[in-house]
Amino acid sequence: MKNYAHFKIFFLVFTFLSFYLVTTDTHAAAGEQKRVEKHEWTFSGVFGHYDNAQLQRGFQVYKEVCSSCHSMNYVYFRNLAEEGGPGFTPEEVKVIASEYTVIDGPDDFGEMFEREGKASDNFPSPYSNINEARASNGGAYPPDFSVLAKARSTERGFPWWFVDLFTGYQEQGVDYIYSLLNGYKEVPEDFKLQDGMHYNEYYPGNQIAMGQPIYDDSVEYADGTNATIKQMAEDVSAFMMWAAEPKLEIRKKMGFKVAIFLFVLAGLLYYSKKKIWSRIEH
């Protein structure tokens, strides 16, 4: 009997180890693209929550820098005042929305017209269609921000993809975006960069169409925070995570309550089961 157990353990360890060796080997060979580091976020983990001030700063970066090329179609101004968001008041949101111009219509005469944005509007796109966006950006389409933080990932490799299942690591996307914004470097001498492309350590293939979007002091933060590249990259990444997953905070809070309920229920059922089964030998 004991021999079986040894055999099984040996077999499992052997299999895991060979997986690990095989996968790490190929990653080393792939080389070029720098591996994204895990960053500390307030919204990671079981008790994760957004930092209001950070989201407001991130919104400022989006508004003043990113939004000139990147749309955010599924996000509405009203979302800015909702629970678990940047924490603007409804009045502030009205003011923010009114700074945008929105095309509405047709009116009673069949004409489209421009008006001030309202809280119930979504963020207007900088371009009227994809073709215009491509034409203005050398053929590359600046992706929509709404779910971008969930649409990007980092190669984790074995055994991390397995460990991630039980640590709840869901920040691959923001980690990548944060790294990317910090990843603009001088072109290495032996590297052939195509026309109109930019060198980035973290982008697959190291050639990205987007030029470095933020430099030190690109924005002047309303709350007086020192606007370094790192700071802005962190803030706007956090903002993008919120845009992609606006219910994250509500979700994690509810999950904690549900889990406690289930643990208590499991305990009660455990003792009920014990009591009922004590009636017969088993």
Partner 1 sequence: MSKESTYIPRNGFAKWFDQRLPLPRMLHDNISAFPTPRNLNYWYTFGGILTFCLVTQILTGIVLAMHYTADAGLAFASVEHIMRNVNYGWLIRYIHAVGASMFFLAVYVHMFRGLYYGSYKAPREILWILGVIIYLLMVITAFMGYVLPWGQMSFWGATVITNLFSVIPVVGTTITEWLWGGFAVDNATLKRFFSLHYLMPFMIFGVVILHIWALHVTGNNNPVGISVKDKQDTVPFAPYYTVKDALSLVCFLILFVWFIFFNPNILGHTDNYIMADPLVTPAHIVPEWYLLPFYAILRAIPSKLGGVLVMGAAIAVLFIVPWLDTSKVRSATFRPLYKQFYWIFLVNCVALGYLGSQNPEGLFLVASRICTAYYFIHFLIVMPVLGLVEKPRPIPESITKAVLEKLEIKNSKEEAKA
**Interaction between residue 5 and partner 1 (CB under 8 A):** no
- Secondary structure string (H, E, C) spanning 219-271: CCCCCCCCCCHHHHHHHHHHHHHHHHCCCHHHHHHHHHHHHHHHHHHHHHHHH
Residue 243: closest CA among 155, 148, 151: 148
Options 103, 151, 163, 222; binder of partner 1; rule CB under 8 A: 151
Q: Taking contact as CB under 8 A, which single stretch among the options 31-39, 104-112, 140-148, 189-197 is the one that binds partner 1?
A: 140-148
Residue 74 binding partner 1, by CB under 8 A: yes
Extended beta strands in 16-106, E state: 101-104
Q: Which stretch binds partner 1 (CB under 8 A): 12-20, 50-58, 191-199, 208-216?
A: 12-20
Convert 85-115 to b/e letters by CB count within 10 Å (16 or more is b).
bbbbeeeebbebbeebebeeeeeeeeeeeee
255 binds partner 1 (CB under 8 A): yes
Which of residues 13, 95, 135, 262 is near partner 1 by CB under 8 A? 262
The nearest distance, CB 269 to partner 1, in angstroms, is 4
Binding mask 119-138 for partner 1 (x = CB under 8 A): --------------------
Task: State how far the alpha carbon of 226 is from the alpha carbons of 17, 87, 162, 217, 221, in Å.
Answer: 46, 21, 38, 8, 7
Q: Which of 10, 20, 113, 263 binds partner 1 (CB under 8 A)?
A: 263
- CB closer to partner 1, 34 vs 253: 253
When binding is defined by CB under 8 A, the residue of 2, 4, 27, 127 that contacts partner 1 is: 4
Which among 62-70, 99-107, 207-215, 269-277 is the span making contact with partner 1, rule CB under 8 A?
Answer: 269-277
**266 touches partner 1 by CB under 8 A:** yes
Residues 6+ apart with CB under 8 A from 15: none
Please identify, using beta-carbon distances, which residue of 6 and 223 lies nearer to partner 1.
Answer: 6
Report the C-alpha gap between 44 and 46 in whole angstroms.
7
Instruction: Tell me how far, at minimum, the Cβ of 163 lies from partner 1, in Å.
Output: 11
- Give dist(CA 218, CA 58) in Å, integer: 12
Q: Any idea what the Cα angle at residue 124 is, between residues 242 and 48, rounded to 5°?
A: 5
- Kindly state whether residue 165 participates in binding partner 1, applying the rule CB under 8 A: yes
Minimum gap (Å) between residue 87 Cβ and partner 1: 18
Cis peptide before 106 (omega within 30 of 0): yes
Give the N- to C-terminal CA distance of the chain in Å, as an integer: 22
| Contacting residues toward partner 1, per CB under 8 A | 4, 7-8, 11-12, 15, 19, 22-23, 46, 73-75, 79, 143, 146-148, 150-153, 158, 164-165, 168-170, 172-173, 204, 244, 246-247, 251-252, 254-256, 258-259, 262-263, 265-266, 269-270, 272-273, 276-277, 280-282
